[in-house]
Structure 1
Amino acid sequence: MSDRVTATVDLAAIRHNLRQVRRRAPGARVMAAVKADAYGHGAVPVARTLEAAGVDALAVACIEEALTLREAHIRTPITLLEGILSAEEANLAAYERLQIVLNDFWQVQLLESMPASASLQVWFKLDSGMHRLGFPLSAVPRLSAVLERNPGWQFCGWMTHLACADEMDNPMTQRQIEDFDAALLGLPGARSIANSAGLLGWPSAAQRDWVRPGLALYGASPLPGKVGLDLGLQPALTLTSRLIARRDYEAGAGIGYGSAYRCPEPMSIGVAAVGYADGIHRSLSSGAPILVGGQPARIAGRVSMDMITLDLREAPAAVVGDEVLLWGAALPAELLAAHAGTLAYELFCGLTNRVRFRYVDSAGSRLDLR
């Protein structure tokens, strides 16, 4: 049985990108973000790869994601970026030796209500300007008092999150860095500021105890105007389908729903077996680049649930059965995302369970790990 849509994840690329992160932050430990199913790449195989490569910690959004990794026998430290939502989650986090990011005093109160024998590992997240989660910087003295009255807690450190690190001309990032440092001046505890954009665009943010890369580990760029390859990264995920039809039409023929595309001249139109039910954004406009059998082609008309139609004028040798490349090293996901008015993050995370995942190692052998 042939796969309609295949996502091939190169684990060697994940390892390469981790090395690039370490090269850019040589004095820092690496907390790799594997939340959202490792940005759609498969949390368990990616976490296993990172663990074998010696990553210092993993980061997930919620306890369900952490438990999936523990059930797969991942023993690397795991951090809950959104913390805990209940006493039940706090107890599970303690039992599984998860690091809890505390964002609000109600979470502090919840942990302080637990038995003193509970083994708790905590981070404090400070809001230096993102204004999403985190304690205000003015709360640092109160948080220091929390630590003093809970000597049994294992304190992991202080973190913050950058709001505009992908905007290189925005002074807000430097203000956040300076305000975070000033609020913690003279206090003990590890510091963590840099996400992928901070790591790649703001070297001063990476000069802390921990960095927390996400997108960079998967080989895509968080910085506008650049793709991962420009930054020394290797795209880890290649998404492919197949050409299932090729037809010739006269000038003026309408293609697909709404006849949204009109053939400007006599031309060939191809059909690929992939659509928005697989995760290809319906917002992709005509003209978005695709490769068919290694030749350039472009989307023509609206994305359907199960199919896309393609302008094959630049791919005269294309035949039914040819591979259709949506994104990968030869066609970075960032380019397709720009045509959809979105980001590579959303393309990766939007892949559905209709997509067949395959994993390859550096030798090219396939591993069924998902």
Structure 2
Amino acid sequence: MRPARALIDLQALRHNYRQARALGGGRALAVVKADAYGHGAIRCAQALQDEADGFAVACIEEALELRAAGIRGPILLLEGFFEAGELALIEEHGFWCVIHAQWQVDALERSTRSRPLKVWLKLDSGMHRVGLSALECAAAWRRLQAMPQVEVQVLMSHFARADELDHPYSGEQAAVFADLNARLRVETSLSNSPALLGWPQLRSDWARPGLMLYGANPFDRAHPLADALQPVMTLESRIISVRELPAGEPIGYGGRFVTAGPTRVGVVAMGYADGYPQNAPNGTEVAIDGRTGRLIGRVSMDMLTVDLTDHPAAGLGSRVELWGRQVRIGGLAAQCGGSAYQLLSGLKRTPREYSDA
């Protein structure tokens, strides 16, 4: 069997959730959208269901998958419903629903149900993606409160630049949010992963940790709280071929790397079809049998090459960590001009193996 695999540490996932909940000081929805950022939504939700206050997903399809797997706790639909016809399923399965547009308020006003739908109302405090303006939000709140078929639970918003620790925009968004809530005086949800870790002054009743659950640093620099998280996924494979090349030999597509001297090259069963970044540059860090090594040559669809010259004990079958506890995914993402969000959620083909000990 091809040796590429993603090892998922569910104990680390629980550790990170507890950290997020403690930092938020209230309740926390575990964000498991996009298949739990590539970690497997069902297994991650099952690992957290005895302690998580609830879960958050992007859409009803993701929520239905969790219900079918036996997840009974609250599940919030972060994008709400996309058409009024979904409301019957939302009621049947007891989903919580974000309301972010006027047409959704209109649809709720026209609907009839046997029990109230629990909704979170979304304020556009400056992200300018989805959400209602402060004026629209206050009006929608009044309308929703008047509907017997609706139970309004939480006022929420989303930070646009909380991962930029020196930028004032998060404080400006929080001020807009606080101004509206001073009039509504309801429970709130504002803190995402970077806000929980980097903006302790911006807290809310319900936190929504996403990336930090999976042990990744959302910032472009070291941060003590982020660095204390435990990576949940280790992406690894093994060396399947070893070549001894003299100086002056090109390696891989395009000959991007040329040997400067006698070089021992290891071929690893891992490529961009597995989700490893194709544009990873020469010198990108890997770990070979636990020792720091480097990528050489262009990443291809199914294979990549590493320098074994300074790893005399490594050879066929040697373990290579691409990201995980030793090779932090944030550093890899920075080298490749991407983000940990993109790498984790882009995991493909590589099978996942779970540990819970």
Is the TM value for this pair above 0.5?
A: yes
TM bin, normalised by shorter chain, reads over 0.9
> Which ranges of structure 1 fall in alignment gaps of 5 or more residues?
363-370
Match of 2:84 in 1: 87
1-structure distance, mates of 2:227, 2:300: 34
Sort the Cα spacing of 1:30 and 1:230 in 2 relative to 1 into closer, same or farther, 3 A.
closer
2-structure distance, mates of 1:201, 1:148: 34
Match of 2:47 among 46, 49, 55: 49
Contact 2:162 2:194 in 1 (8 A): yes
Structure 2 residue 304 is the aligned partner of structure 1 residue 305: no
State the identity %: 44
Structure 2 residue 139 is the aligned partner of structure 1 residue 142: yes
Contact 2:121 2:137 in 1 (8 A): no
Output the amino acid matched with 2:351. Answer: R
Report the RMSD for the aligned CA atoms in angstroms.
Answer: 1.4
> Which ranges of structure 2 fall in alignment gaps of 5 or more residues?
none
Match of 2:185 in 1: 188
Contact 1:295 1:314 in 2 (8 A): no
2-structure distance, mates of 1:143, 1:282: 46
Q: Deviations over 1:67-112 (max 9, x none)?
A: 0000001011000000101122121111111011011001111122
Match of 1:125 among 118, 122, 126: 122
Match of 2:354 in 1: 359
Contact 2:138 2:180 in 1 (8 A): no
2-structure distance, mates of 1:108, 1:338: 41
Sort the Cα spacing of 1:317 and 1:15 in 2 relative to 1 into closer, same or farther, 3 A.
same
Structure 2 residue 322 is the aligned partner of structure 1 residue 323: no
1-structure distance, mates of 2:269, 2:9: 23
Secondary structure of the 1:204 match is coil
1-structure distance, mates of 2:250, 2:230: 39
Secondary structure of the 1:184 match is helix
Contact 1:140 1:184 in 2 (8 A): no
Deviation at 1:231, TM superposition (A): 3.4
Deviation at 1:118, TM superposition (A): 4.8
Output the amino acid matched with 1:49. Answer: A
Deviation at 1:25, TM superposition (A): 2.0
2-structure distance, mates of 1:284, 1:179: 40
Counting only pairs closer than 5 Å after superposition, residues 166-205 of structure 1 correspond to structure 2 as 166-205=163-202
Structure 2 residue 221 is the aligned partner of structure 1 residue 225: yes
2-structure distance, mates of 1:252, 1:113: 73
Deviation at 1:289, TM superposition (A): 0.5
Contact 2:264 2:308 in 1 (8 A): yes
2-structure distance, mates of 1:162, 1:355: 32
Contact 1:97 1:119 in 2 (8 A): no
Secondary structure of the 2:122 match is strand
Deviation at 1:318, TM superposition (A): 1.1
1-structure distance, mates of 2:226, 2:20: 14
Match of 1:282 in 2: 278
Q: Deviations over 1:330-369 (max 9, x none)?
A: 11111211121111111111111x211111012xxxxxxx
2-structure distance, mates of 1:37, 1:241: 22
2-structure distance, mates of 1:296, 1:255: 20
Structure 2 residue 34 is the aligned partner of structure 1 residue 32: no
Output the amino acid matched with 1:132. Answer: R
